[in-house]
Amino acid sequence: MKKVYANATEALDGILRDGMLIAAGGFGLCGIPELLLQAIKESGVKDLTFASNNAGVDDFGIGILLQTRQVKKMISSYVGENAEFMRQYLSGELELEFTPQGTLAERMRAGGAGIPGFYTKTGVGTVIAEGKEHKEFNGETYILEEGIFADLAIVKAWKADDTGNLVFRKTARNFNVPAATCGKICVAEVEEIVPRGSLDPDCIHLPGIYVHRVIQGQHEKRIEQRTTRKKEEA
């Protein structure tokens, strides 16, 4: 069981193909698999569908794959920070499936748990519910949402051991856990790979069963909105 690869390109070798569905972790630019996205860009693979909460910014995250027109469709809840995304969307070059954030997370979780569909109140009475099955439970209306079964999941964690157990840091966990579980194959990039036995088994956030390949690398970890307070305000 060899899970550790030298770099992002090697970790994706033999996996990428045109038209595939990729689930990506991250929220905004926090906890995004930046090295794997760069390697996907360099591979030239195209017509990709991404299930990802956001679409990055113009020159970082999924944004770099929009610049090269490698993305056909996004399944996202919020795409406001990306001018090139908007241009391609408004010109009809890019498909967009808006999915409420919690529904997107649950669609990934469900896919990973072998659940093809679930009912939720989220979006009832809105455009999101149009065309979806409605069902009443205990007098309340719910809509049917489908699990996401991705061809590939790409995620970013803080630490991994060589068996693929992952530990995340602070709010960088976000979509990485549900995204990882819903991929047929999951590739994780981390800041540090440690030997098995060095992570506390009680503090593993995602067990290695979900993670097939791991790389360690240097991350830029860009901040989208730097907000601070002054010491004297304290």
Partner 1 sequence: MPWDRNQMAARAAEELEDGMYVNLGIGIPTLVANYVGDKDITLQSENGMLGMGPFPYEGEEDPDLINAGKQTITELPRTAYFDSATSFAMIRGGKIAAAILGAMEVDEKGDLANWMIPGKLVKGMGGAMDLVAGVGRVIVVMDHTNKHGQSKVLKECTLPLTGKGVVDRIITNLGVLDVVEGGLKIVERADGVTEEDMRAATEATIVD
Lookup: tokens for 1 = 């069981």
Residue 205, judged by CB atoms within 10 A of its CB (0-12, 13-18, 19+), counts as middle
Cβ proximity to partner 1, 69 vs 169, nearer residue = 169
Using CB under 8 A, which of 33, 178, 208, 217 touches partner 1?
Answer: 178
Taking CB under 8 A as the binding criterion, the range among 9-17, 40-48, 193-201, 220-228 that sits at the site for partner 1 is: 220-228
Lookup: tokens for 21 = 């569905």
Cβ proximity to partner 1, 1 vs 130, nearer residue = 130
For the bound state, the minimum distance from the C-beta of residue 176 to partner 1, rounded and expressed in Å, comes to: 7
Lookup: tokens for 177 = 């856990």
User: How many other C-beta atoms can be found within 10 angstroms of the C-beta atom of residue 218?
Assistant: 8
Containing H/E element for 134? strand 134-137
Helical H segments across 122-204, by residue range: 176-181
Polymer length in residues for the chain: 234
Q: Is 25 helix (H, G, I), strand (E, B) or coil?
A: coil
Alpha-carbon distance 100 to 75, whole Å? Answer: 10
Using CB under 8 A, which of 73, 158, 162, 185 touches partner 1?
Answer: 158
230 contacts partner 1 (rule: CB under 8 A): yes
Using CB under 8 A as the binding criterion, the count of chain residues that bind partner 1 stands at: 57
DSSP state of 163: T
For the bound state, the minimum distance from the C-beta of residue 112 to partner 1, rounded and expressed in Å, comes to: 9
119 contacts partner 1 (rule: CB under 8 A): no
1 contacts partner 1 (rule: CB under 8 A): no
49 contacts partner 1 (rule: CB under 8 A): no
41 contacts partner 1 (rule: CB under 8 A): no
Cβ proximity to partner 1, 1 vs 90, nearer residue = 90
138 contacts partner 1 (rule: CB under 8 A): no
Lookup: tokens for 145 = 């949402």
210 contacts partner 1 (rule: CB under 8 A): no
Cβ proximity to partner 1, 46 vs 219, nearer residue = 219
Which residues 99-118 are close enough to bind partner 1 by CB under 8 A? 100-106, 108-109
Question: Exposure string (b/e) for 49-64, b if CB count within 10 Å is 16 or more?
Answer: bbbbbbbbbbebbbbb
Query: Using an 8 Å Cβ cutoff, are 156 and 32 in contact?
Result: yes
Q: Residues in the site for partner 1, rule: CB under 8 A? A: 27-31, 53, 76-81, 86, 98, 100-106, 108-109, 120-128, 158, 168-178, 205, 221-231, 234
